[in-house]
């Protein structure tokens, strides 16, 4: 049993515990507490929420359980400092893995409503000091996520928060968050500005105009393997020119049938090209449904393996194609919405 795991308490045995719903196997899924209890957990002794006293929390959150009874999530009556594998942290909500290990820590657990705004909640979001595999980081955060082993999995930053972290390709300014492999190697981060990433096809400006942050930054747009090689990124500015080697031997009239990868691209897109065997793939545009401009930019998503390059899901073998990068062809701006 690790330092951040302990025997699972039977929440239903406490006075004032009311089972609200069940899992399909018949075990309790949610338990509402009607009076104050001190609950022993892998994060220490916690007092689950049992009454709502301010506009931030319009209702009492039940204690959530995994099938079989192990703790899944606890919202606290009041903010408390708990011990985590990354050091002491303030918490209003904590979650646990099925084995009992600490999973996520949320410093704040307010509910945005007509009575409590994002600005109100942001005013309460103080900085947290965290020990990470790449050094100490201090920032306002939404949550931290741990593997069952206790290794830090990800840090999700508060909206608008920015930090500078060490990466396999030098310091980077980060928004949204960053994540790790269980070995401790950096797995991904969200660049706050176009970042010059060295890839198997050349240097590409990595930048996502509409990052999918939310409640977890477990996997961000610029990704690395455990050796520090780029495995995936998103670019809002650059194009990649793919040159088919088979055309040189088969002739332009034989393209795309002479190359399985190019034939799949042609069949999937239905597009024609000016020069057979030469594709220039990059960001595009789509109609904006809720933006401040008529169209939204759609970045190019790239992936890399030892054998192939993926461009927006279209796979081209590295042995059968040449690749070059056309840099900085598009202006860069975050996507903004009016609704």
- Write out pLDDT tens, residues 43-70: 899 999 998 777 788 788 999 999 988 9
pLDDT for the residue numbered 124: 81
305-328 b/e with 16+ CB inside 10 Å = b? eeebbebbebebeeebbebebeee
63 has which bridge partners?
31
pLDDT for the residue numbered 331: 59
pLDDT of 81 over the 70 cut = yes
- Residues near 18 by beta carbon (within 8 Å), at least 6 away in sequence: 31, 32, 33, 34
Phi, psi angles (nearest 5°) of residue 70? -70, 145
> β-strand 44-46 against 300-304: which pairing, if any?
unpaired
Q: Is 147 exposed, middle or buried (0-12, 13-18, 19+ CB in 10 A)?
A: middle
The Cα–Cα gap between 101 and 205 comes to: 39
Q: What is the DSSP letter of 264?
A: H
pLDDT for the residue numbered 297: 87
pLDDT for the residue numbered 58: 73
Q: Is 135 exposed, middle or buried (0-12, 13-18, 19+ CB in 10 A)?
A: exposed
Q: How confident is the model at residue 337 (pLDDT cuts 50, 70, 90)?
A: very low
- Residues near 156 by beta carbon (within 8 Å), at least 6 away in sequence: 141, 142, 143, 144, 145, 176, 177, 213, 214, 215, 216, 217
pLDDT of 119 over the 90 cut = no
The Cα–Cα gap between 190 and 164 comes to: 11
What would you measure as the largest C-alpha separation in the chain, in angstroms? 81
| Cα radius of gyration rounded to whole Å, the chain | 25
Q: How confident is the model at residue 2 (pLDDT cuts 50, 70, 90)?
A: very low
Q: How confident is the model at residue 98 (pLDDT cuts 50, 70, 90)?
A: very high
Q: Report the mean per-residue pLDDT for the chain.
A: 90
Q: How confident is the model at residue 260 (pLDDT cuts 50, 70, 90)?
A: very high
Determine which of 37-46, 217-226, 260-269, 291-300 has the lowest per-residue pLDDT on average: 291-300
């Amino acid at each position: 049993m690790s330092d951040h795991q302990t025997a699972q308490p039977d929440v239903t045995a406490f006075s004032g515990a009311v089972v609200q719903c069940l899992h399909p196997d018949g075990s309790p899924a949610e338990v509402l507490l009607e009076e104050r209890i001190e609950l022993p957990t892998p994060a220490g002794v916690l007092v689950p929420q049992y009454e709502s006293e301010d506009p931030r929390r319009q209702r009492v959150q039940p204690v959530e359980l995994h099938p079989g009874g192990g703790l899944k999530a606890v919202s606290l009556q009041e903010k408390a400092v708990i011990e985590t594998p990354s050091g002491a942290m303030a918490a209003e909500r904590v979650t646990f893995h099925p084995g009992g290990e600490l999973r996520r820590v949320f410093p704040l657990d307010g509910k945005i409503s007509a009575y409590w705004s994002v600005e109100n909640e942001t005013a309460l979001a103080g900085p947290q000091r965290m020990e990470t595999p790449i050094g100490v980081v201090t920032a306002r955060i939404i949550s931290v996520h741990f593997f069952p082993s206790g290794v830090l999995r990800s840090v999700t930053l508060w909206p608008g928060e920015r930090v500078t972290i060490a990466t396999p390709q030098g310091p980077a300014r980060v928004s949204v968050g960053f994540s790790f492999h269980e070995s401790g190697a950096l797995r991904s981060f969200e660049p706050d500005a176009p970042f010059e990433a060295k890839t198997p096809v050349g240097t590409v400006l990595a930048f996502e105009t509409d990052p999918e942050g939310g409640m977890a930054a477990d996997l961000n747009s610029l990704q690395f393997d455990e050796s520090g090689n780029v495995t995936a990124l998103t670019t809002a500015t650059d194009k990649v020119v793919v040159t088919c080697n088979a055309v040189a031997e088969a002739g332009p009239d034989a393209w795309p049938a002479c190359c399985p990868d190019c034939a799949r691209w042609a069949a999937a897109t239905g597009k024609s090209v000016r020069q057979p065997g030469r594709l220039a793939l990059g960001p595009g545009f789509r109609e904006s449904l809720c933006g401040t401009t008529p169209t939204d930019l759609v970045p190019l998503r790239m992936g890399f393996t030892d054998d192939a390059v993926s461009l927006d899901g279209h796979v081209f073998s590295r042995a059968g194609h040449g690749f070059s990068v056309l840099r900085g062809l598009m202006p860069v701006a975050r996507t903004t919405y009016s609704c």
